[in-house]
Each structure stands twice: as structure tokens, then as C-alpha cells.
């Protein structure tokens, strides 16, 4: 029985199709001036020669062992209520450069691009990847073309995704890579991940072959960044790391309150602990800010129940999931933050417990260990009431004592060891709800590494 058959979906979301190693590429070619075309073709031809002559590119992709090294849950395009994104307008004759930190190393990488919430096919003219330097710059000599079915361009079906060909690019765990996507026509609204805490860069025209950051002067400022279309990075060709750990949750997993471009969310810091302990494992972040366990949202993603299979169980080589979910169900009775006049059914302790049990069962069917994380306190936040705090405490007590999770990560006590019901000053980012980098360090340090085996 699949994980999907175990999940109770309160509303449908676009199905995740089976990805083929070499998806059919579109015949459409880029439209550019002759000078730009000549420069780009020359740059990418040289890159293609470097890529195809490297030993790591030999051998069929299906014969390799692939591991997830990075992921981001995809969301429908919407006007973000907290900060600006480019999701609603999409892109047109623009290059988009996105920087991600890999959770595992290898000699080859490949990329998953998602059009899960697109209403029309997405036409990608071409892409390149290289080792990231400062800002939007790429380390010279590392830039490689990214192809799809041995072609430069690809069409991603509405509601679907594609998987790139392998690219020879040696990288170690915790290295950063920069993927550049070029669209020579309008994309329409973009499937994206709203809160990246990482700057994404945009340039007019085709700048796939640029290693300098000069053209990429456009970024959403001020803001926390978003990722567009990029849902996953996989690696191959190195000694196998341990099976991936997926951090599944809300904004405290997504990393609100962490340092922009600092990679100090709790999943990042947990990955660093594992490397330092000689137990390197990818730690994948499947958090969505303002996400709910029980209900879909117009601007905060599909519910945890709806997206658990796609964002956790379908990732390659997953061994453990850390579930930190339910706070937004407790705090918000509807979807008004997204401008939707909707009240959800009343949230009760039993409904939350039943949802957690559903996730545990789905994980176990796939052979994935489930670790339950207690919800952090929020005394002093505007949302606090005695009733909401009691529901949080009761859910935490069930997570700690029921024995239904395989292990427990006590985030509540990590940031509030005295049990005051609030996050101490210095450990929250100023809103009494989200940790600061110091608070995220306390959360990551509280996780028993043995519990992740």
C-alpha cells in the first residue's frame, strides 16, 4: 500500500507525476540577438565540452545511486501577505539564479523542476549550474550546462515536473551550487517556495554563461527570498551517505527568524552536527511558513496531510522524518491571512492527534522512522490565549508520552527548559514565536543524533 493511500486529503492538490530520467525536451529554441546568441553559444559549447569529457559523466543515469541532497516544498503562486515575491508575475526574457546548499556530496548532480501549480506548460529555454561564490557569482571554471533528455530546452507540463540529465560537478556536503534558469518568453505565475531565507537573483536576458554577478543586480529587497520551480537536487557518484533526514513542519522549520543567506535554520545546524560527529546525512527542509496540518491555504501551501507523501516520502533515500506541526492550526481558525474569508472546522486535540497518527502510519509503510517534535512556546506573542496554549501543551504531552512516535525531539524544552511558556529573550527573533539563530541552535543541539538512525 502506498503512502498516498494512508493519507487523508482534505482537498486535492496537483498530482506528482512519475519523473523519467530523460524527459522529452521541447524543440523550441531561444530567441535572442545574434551577438547575445553567439556569446552564449560559445560559452555553453565550452562548458559542454568540459562536462562531457569529465569521467563522472560516463555511464547511464539509471545505473547510479541517487540521493536527495536538497529540497523545497512547492507552493501555488500567490501574493505573499508578509513580503514580496516574483511568483505572481513570473518571468519573461529573464535569467533566474538560485543558490542552494547541498546536504550530500557527489561527482554528479541533477535537478527537479516543478510546474505543480502551473495552469499551462512551462517553457524553459535552458539552464546552467556551477559552484556558488559570493552573492550571485559563480566560481570560474565550474559552470556547466544543464540538459534535459540531451537537449538544452524543455517543456514542463502543467501540474508536472521534470528531472534533468546528470551534470558532472564534484561537490562535497555543505557546498553551495548556483542554478541559473533562462526563460525567453513569459512563464505566467510561477510555482515556487515562498520563504527561502536565501537571496534569489534575476537578470534581463540570457546570462546562463555568466560567472560574474554583474548582470544579476535584481533581487527582492527588502525580503526573505523565494525559490522558483526548483523542488529538488540529487547527487550521485560518492560513497553513500546515510539515508536522508527530512525536517517536516511550519515556519520554525522553514527558518523564519534565521539569518538571510546564513544557512542557520535548525535543519542546517542539525546537518552540521551530523557532519561534525562523523555521521554525515542529508537534512532536507520540508517546512512551509504558516502551513497547517489539517487545512490547505491559498498562500501557505497544501496541508501537511495533503503534501506529506510528495514532500517527504517520495524523496529518494529518505530514512527519518522529524514532524513539527500543528501550531498554525492552533493559532488560526481560517485562511484570513491570505485574504480568504474562510473559517476552518474547530481544531481539537483529538483531530491533531489523529493527523499525527496518519503521518506516522504513512512513514512506517515506507520504512521511514518518525520522530515527533514538540511545539515551541509562544507566551508574549499576540496570538497567545490560555486556550491556545493549553491545546499546545496537551499535544506536546501526547507527543512525549504516547509512545506512538519512534522517538521524540523536545523543541519546547530546548528553548524553554524552565517551562515558563515563553521563549526567552535572545532566543526568539523579536516576535516571541519564532526562534532567533541562537534559538535555532538550541533546537538543533537538543536532537539526539542516535534517535535519527
pTM: 0.87
Cell of 54: 569529465
Distance separating alpha carbons of residues 47 and 302, to the nearest angstrom: 39
At 41, is the pLDDT very low, low, confident or very high (cuts 50, 70, 90)? very low
At 64, is the pLDDT very low, low, confident or very high (cuts 50, 70, 90)? confident
Give the residue with greater pLDDT, 265 vs 20: 265
CB 107 within 8 A of CB 237: yes
**Sign (positive/negative) of CA torsion 255, 256, 257, 258?**
positive
Shortest CA distance to 248 belongs to which of 142, 105, 347, 362? 362
Q: Mean pLDDT over residues 179-187, rounded?
A: 98
CB 70 within 8 A of CB 106: no
pLDDT at 9: 34
∠ CA 444-447-452, nearest 5°, is 120
Shortest CA distance to 267 belongs to which of 366, 417, 371, 377? 371
pLDDT at 80: 63
Shortest CA distance to 109 belongs to which of 283, 256, 281, 237? 237
Give the residue with greater pLDDT, 395 vs 237: 395
CB 63 within 8 A of CB 237: no
CB 316 within 8 A of CB 67: yes
Question: Following DSSP, what letter does each residue of 193-260 receive, concatenated?
Answer: ES--SS--EEEES--TT--SSTT--B--SSS---EESEEEEEEESSSPPPPEEEEEESHHHHTTTS-T
User: Is pLDDT above 80 for 449?
Assistant: yes
User: Which residue matches cell numbers 504513512?
Assistant: 362
User: Is pLDDT above 90 for 13?
Assistant: no
pLDDT at 69: 96
User: Is pLDDT above 70 for 249?
Assistant: yes
Burial string for 294-305 (b: 16+ CB within 10 Å, else e) reads: bbbbebbbbbbb
At 42, is the pLDDT very low, low, confident or very high (cuts 50, 70, 90)? very low
Greatest mean pLDDT range, 56-70, 235-249, 337-351: 337-351
∠ CA 2-154-30, nearest 5°, is 165
User: Is pLDDT above 80 for 340?
Assistant: yes
User: Which residue matches cell numbers 542554478?
Assistant: 179
pLDDT at 82: 73
User: Is pLDDT above 70 for 432?
Assistant: yes
Q: Mean pLDDT over residues 43-58, rounded?
A: 35
Greatest mean pLDDT range, 32-46, 72-86, 97-111: 97-111
User: Is pLDDT above 70 for 11?
Assistant: no
Q: Where are the domains positioned within the chain?
A: 34-232, 242-452
User: Is pLDDT above 90 for 18?
Assistant: no
User: Is pLDDT above 90 for 46?
Assistant: no
Q: 386-401 and 349-365 are packed helices; what angle lies between their axes, rounded to 10 degrees?
A: 30
Question: From its phi and psi, is residue 218 left (phi > 0), alpha (psi between -120 and 50) or beta?
Answer: beta
pLDDT at 81: 67
User: Residues 371-403: pLDDT tens digits?
Assistant: 999 999 999 998 899 999 999 999 999 999 999
Q: Mean pLDDT over residues 104-121, rounded?
A: 97
User: Is pLDDT above 80 for 239?
Assistant: no
User: At 253, phi and psi to the nearest 5?
Assistant: -90, -45
pLDDT at 240: 66
Poorest-pLDDT segment among 61-70, 104-113, 133-142, 170-179: 61-70
- Work out the mean pLDDT of the chain and round it to a whole number: 87
Q: Own/partner pairs for 329-336, CB < 8 Å, 24+ apart?
A: 329/292, 329/293, 329/294, 329/295, 330/375, 330/388, 330/391, 330/392, 330/395, 331/378, 331/383, 331/388, 332/290, 332/292, 332/383, 335/295, 335/297, 335/298, 335/299, 335/300
Distance separating alpha carbons of residues 269 and 440, to the nearest angstrom: 8
pLDDT at 84: 84
Q: Mean pLDDT over residues 404-430, rounded?
A: 97
User: Residues 300-339: pLDDT tens digits?
Assistant: 999 999 999 999 999 999 999 999 999 999 999 999 889 8
Give the residue with greater pLDDT, 58 vs 182: 182
CATH architecture for the domain at 242-452? 3-Layer(aba) Sandwich (3.40)
pLDDT at 15: 38
pLDDT at 19: 37
pLDDT at 224: 85
Query: In the chain, what percentage of residues exceed pLDDT 70?
Result: 85
User: Is pLDDT above 60 for 96?
Assistant: yes
At 362, is the pLDDT very low, low, confident or very high (cuts 50, 70, 90)? very high
Distance separating alpha carbons of residues 52 and 65, to the nearest angstrom: 20
Q: In what order do the strands lie in the sheet with 407-409?
A: 283-287, 244-249, 318-324, 369-373, 407-409
User: Which residue matches cell numbers 514532500?
Assistant: 311
Distance separating alpha carbons of residues 191 and 118, to the nearest angstrom: 6
Amino acid at each position: 500500500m502506498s503512502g498516498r493511500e494512508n493519507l487523508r486529503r482534505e482537498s486535492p492538490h496537483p498530482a506528482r507525476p512519475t519523473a523519467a530520467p530523460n524527459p522529452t525536451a521541447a524543440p523550441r529554441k531561444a530567441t535572442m540577438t545574434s551577438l547575445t546568441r553567439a556569446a552564449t553559444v560559445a560559452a555553453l559549447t565550452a562548458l559542454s565540452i568540459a562536462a562531457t569529457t569529465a569521467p563522472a559523466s560516463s555511464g547511464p543515469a539509471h545505473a547510479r545511486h541517487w540521493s536527495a541532497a536538497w529540497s523545497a516544498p512547492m507552493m501555488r503562486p500567490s501574493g505573499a501577505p508578509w513580503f514580496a515575491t516574483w511568483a505572481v508575475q513570473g518571468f519573461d526574457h529573464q535569467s533566474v539564479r538560485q543558490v542552494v546548499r547541498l546536504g550530500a556530496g557527489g561527482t554528479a548532480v541533477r535537478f527537479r523542476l516543478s510546474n505543480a501549480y502551473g495552469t499551462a506548460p512551462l517553457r524553459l529555454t535552458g539552464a546552467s549550474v556551477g559552484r556558488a561564490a559570493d552573492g550571485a557569482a559563480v566560481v570560474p571554471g565550474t559552470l556547466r550546462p544543464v540538459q534535459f533528455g540531451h537537449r538544452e530546452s524543455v517543456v514542463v507540463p502543467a501540474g508536472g515536473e521534470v528531472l534533468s540529465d546528470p551534470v558532472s560537478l564534484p561537490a562535497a556536503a555543505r557546498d553551495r551550487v548556483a542554478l541559473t534558469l533562462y526563460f525567453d518568453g513569459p512563464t505566467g505565475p510561477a510555482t515556487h517556495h515562498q520563504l527561502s531565507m536565501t537571496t534569489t537573483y534575476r537578470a534581463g536576458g540570457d546570462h546562463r554563461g555568466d560567472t560574474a554577478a554583474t548582470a544579476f543586480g535584481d533581487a527582492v529587497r527588502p525580503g526573505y527570498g523565494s525559490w522558483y520551480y526548483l523542488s529538488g537536487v540529487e547527487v550521485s557518484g560518492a560513497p553513500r551517505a546515510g539515508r536522508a533526514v527530512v525536517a517536516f513542519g511550519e515556519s520554525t522549520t522553514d527558518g523564519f527568524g534565521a539569518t538571510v543567506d546564513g544557512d542557520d535554520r535548525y535543519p542546517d545546524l542539525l546537518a552540521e552536527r551530523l557532519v561534525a560527529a562523523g555521521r554525515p546525512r542529508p537534512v532536507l527542509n520540508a517546512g512551509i511558513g504558516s502551513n497547517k496540518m489539517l487545512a490547505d491555504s491559498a498562500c501557505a501551501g497544501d496541508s501537511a496531510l495533503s503534501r506529506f507523501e510528495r514532500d517527504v516520502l517520495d524523496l529518494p533515500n529518505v530514512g527519518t522524518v522529524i514532524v513539527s506541526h500543528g501550531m498554525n492550526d492552533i493559532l488560526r481558525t481560517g485562511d484570513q491571512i491570505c485574504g480568504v474569508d474562510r473559517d476552518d472546522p474547530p481544531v481539537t486535540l483529538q483531530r491533531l492527534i489523529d493527523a499525527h497518527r496518519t503521518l506516522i502510519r504513512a512513514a512506517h509503510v515506507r520504512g521511514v522512522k518518525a520522530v515527533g517534535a514538540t511545539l515551541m512556546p509562544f507566551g508574549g506573542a499576540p496570538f497567545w490565549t490560555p486556550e491556545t496554549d493549553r491545546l499546545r501543551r496537551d499535544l506536546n504531552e501526547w507527543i512525549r508520552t504516547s509512545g506512538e512516535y519512534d522517538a521524540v525531539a523536545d523543541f519546547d524544552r530546548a528553548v524553554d527548559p524552565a517551562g515558563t511558556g515563553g521563549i526567552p529573550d535572545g532566543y526568539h527573533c523579536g516576535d516571541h514565536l519564532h526562534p532567533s539563530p541562537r534559538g535555532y541552535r538550541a533546537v538543533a543541539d537538543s536532537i539526539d543524533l542516535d534517535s535519527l538512525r
